[in-house]
Structure 1
Amino acid sequence: MVVKKSVTGFIISVCSILFSCAHSDKAIKTTAKPKNSNDMLPGPYETKSTKNFSKVTGWQNGAMPIAPAGFTVTKFAEGLEHPRWIYVGSNGDVFVAESNTILKGLLKFGAKISRKIKTQHIGVSANRITMFRDADRDGIPEQRFVFAENLNQPFGMLILNNHFYVGNTDALVQFNYKTGDTKLNGTGKAIVSLPAGKHNRHWARNIITNKKGDKIYIAVGSGTNVAEKGLENEIRRADILEVNPDGSGERIYASGLRNPVGMDWAPGTNVLWTAVNERDELGDELVPDYLTGVIDGGFYGWPFAYYGKHEDPRMKDQQRPDLVGKSITPDVSLGSHTASLGLVFYDKKAFPAKYSNGAFIGQHGSWNRKELSGYKVVFVPFSNGKPAGQPEDFLTGFKVEGSSDSEVRGRPVCVALLPDGSMLVTDDVSNTIWRVSANK
Structure 2
Amino acid sequence: MTLPFVRLSALAALSTGAIGLALVGGHARLAAAPPALPADCAADNGGLTLPPGFCATVYADHLGHTRHLTVGADGTVYVNTWDSEDYFPHNPAPAGGFVVALKDRDGDGVADVIERFGSTPRRGGQGGTGIALWHGAVYAEEGGTIVRYALTPGQMAPGEPGELVLSGLVLGGDHPMHPFVIAADGTLLVNSGSATNTCEHPNRQPGAKGADPCIEQQTRGGLWAYRADRLRQVFAPADRWATGIRNTGGLTFDSAGRLFAVQHGRDQLSQNWPALYTGEQGAELPNEILFSPFRGADYGWPTCYYDAGQGRHVLAPEYGGDGGKSQGRCAGKTLPVAAYPAHWAPNDVAIYTGQRFPGAYAQGAFIAFHGSWNRAPAPQDGYLVAFQPLSDGRPSGRWIRFADGFAGEYREPGRATHRPAGLAVGPDGALYIADDVRGTIWRVTYHGAPDAALTEAPRAVVKSALTSGDAFSGAPPVPPPGSSADEVALGQRIYFGEIKGGTCVGCHGSDGRGSAAGGSLVGPAYQWSDGSVAGLAATITAGVAHPKKTSGGMPALGGAPLDAGDVHAVAAYVWTLGHHPG
Scaled to the shorter chain, the TM-score interval is 0.7 to 0.9
1:398: Cα distance to partner? 2.5
Q: Which amino acid aligns with 1:279?
A: R
Q: Which amino acid aligns with 1:135?
A: R
- Give 1 or 2: higher strand fraction: 1
Residue by residue over 1:388-409, the C-alpha shift from the partner in whole angstroms, topping out at 9 and shown as x without a partner, is 1121100012245798999533
Q: 1:266 aligns with which of 254, 259, 262?
A: 254
1:253: Cα distance to partner? 2.1
1:363/1:374 contact within 8 Å kept: yes
Paired residue secondary structure (1:336): coil
1:377-392 aligned at under 5 Å gives the runs 377-392=385-400
Q: 1:256 aligns with which of 241, 244, 249?
A: 244
Paired residue secondary structure (1:309): strand
1:137: Cα distance to partner? 3.8
The structure that has the greater radius of gyration is: 2
Residue by residue over 1:3-25, the C-alpha shift from the partner in whole angstroms, topping out at 9 and shown as x without a partner, is xxxxxxxxxxxxxxxxxxxxxxx
Identify if the C-alpha distance between structure 1 residues 366 and 240 changes in structure 2 by more than 3 Å, giving closer, same or farther. Answer: same
1:263-412 aligned at under 5 Å gives the runs 263-267=251-255, 269-282=256-269, 283-307=282-306, 308-316=312-320, 324-370=330-376, 371-399=379-407, 408-412=416-420
Residue by residue over 1:208-252, the C-alpha shift from the partner in whole angstroms, topping out at 9 and shown as x without a partner, is 1112x3311112211222123564444322111111221559732
Q: For residues 411 and 132 of structure 2, what CA distance do their matches in structure 1 show?
A: 40
Q: For residues 366 and 404 of structure 1, what CA distance do their matches in structure 2 show?
A: 7
Identify if the C-alpha distance between structure 1 residues 100 and 372 changes in structure 2 by more than 3 Å, giving closer, same or farther. Answer: farther
1:92 lines up with 2:75 in the alignment: yes
1:161-240 aligned at under 5 Å gives the runs 161-184=135-158, 188-197=162-171, 199-211=172-184, 213-228=185-200, 231-240=214-223
CA-based RMSD = 2.9
Q: For residues 219 and 432 of structure 2, what CA distance do their matches in structure 1 show?
A: 31
Identify if the C-alpha distance between structure 1 residues 100 and 406 changes in structure 2 by more than 3 Å, giving closer, same or farther. Answer: closer
1:183: Cα distance to partner? 3.5
1:430: Cα distance to partner? 2.9
1:181: Cα distance to partner? 3.6
Identify if the C-alpha distance between structure 1 residues 413 and 323 changes in structure 2 by more than 3 Å, giving closer, same or farther. Answer: same
Identify if the C-alpha distance between structure 1 residues 100 and 285 changes in structure 2 by more than 3 Å, giving closer, same or farther. Answer: farther
Q: Which amino acid aligns with 1:210?
A: A
Q: 1:241 aligns with which of 221, 224, 227?
A: 224
1:381: Cα distance to partner? 0.5
2:60 corresponds in structure 1 to: 77
2:99/2:127 contact within 8 Å kept: no
1:431: Cα distance to partner? 2.3
2:84/2:126 contact within 8 Å kept: no
Q: For residues 379 and 405 of structure 1, what CA distance do their matches in structure 2 show?
A: 22
Q: Which amino acid aligns with 1:207?
A: F
Q: Which amino acid aligns with 1:148?
A: G
Q: Normalized against structure 1, the TM-score is what?
A: 0.74
1:175: Cα distance to partner? 3.1
Equivalent pairs, count: 359
Q: Which amino acid aligns with 1:288?
A: N
Q: For residues 153 and 223 of structure 2, what CA distance do their matches in structure 1 show?
A: 28
1:316: Cα distance to partner? 3.8
Identify if the C-alpha distance between structure 1 residues 413 and 405 changes in structure 2 by more than 3 Å, giving closer, same or farther. Answer: closer
1:82/1:98 contact within 8 Å kept: yes
Q: Which amino acid aligns with 2:405?
A: G
1:264: Cα distance to partner? 1.2
1:11-50 aligned at under 5 Å gives the runs none
1:301/1:323 contact within 8 Å kept: no
1:91: Cα distance to partner? 1.8
Identify if the C-alpha distance between structure 1 residues 75 and 393 changes in structure 2 by more than 3 Å, giving closer, same or farther. Answer: same
Q: For residues 290 and 50 of structure 2, what CA distance do their matches in structure 1 show?
A: 22
1:146 corresponds in structure 2 to: 116
Identify if the C-alpha distance between structure 1 residues 327 and 232 changes in structure 2 by more than 3 Å, giving closer, same or farther. Answer: same
Paired residue secondary structure (2:318): helix
1:149: Cα distance to partner? 2.8
Structure 2 stretches of 5 or more lacking a match? Answer: 1-43, 202-210, 270-281, 307-311, 322-326, 449-582
1:421 lines up with 2:429 in the alignment: yes
Q: For residues 325 and 125 of structure 1, what CA distance do their matches in structure 2 show?
A: 46
2:99/2:140 contact within 8 Å kept: no
Identify if the C-alpha distance between structure 1 residues 298 and 62 changes in structure 2 by more than 3 Å, giving closer, same or farther. Answer: closer
Q: For residues 73 and 121 of structure 1, what CA distance do their matches in structure 2 show?
A: 31
Identify if the C-alpha distance between structure 1 residues 299 and 403 changes in structure 2 by more than 3 Å, giving closer, same or farther. Answer: closer
Q: 1:435 aligns with which of 443, 460, 470?
A: 443
Residue by residue over 1:267-296, the C-alpha shift from the partner in whole angstroms, topping out at 9 and shown as x without a partner, is 3x2320101111111111121111011132
Q: For residues 404 and 96 of structure 1, what CA distance do their matches in structure 2 show?
A: 25
Residue by residue over 1:312-367, the C-alpha shift from the partner in whole angstroms, topping out at 9 and shown as x without a partner, is 112349xxx98634312212112100011121111111111111111100000000
Paired residue secondary structure (2:132): strand
- Give 1 or 2: higher helix fraction: 2
Structure 1 stretches of 5 or more lacking a match? Answer: 1-60, 104-116
Q: For residues 316 and 194 of structure 1, what CA distance do their matches in structure 2 show?
A: 34
1:363/1:377 contact within 8 Å kept: yes
Q: How much identity, in percent, do the aligned residues show?
A: 27
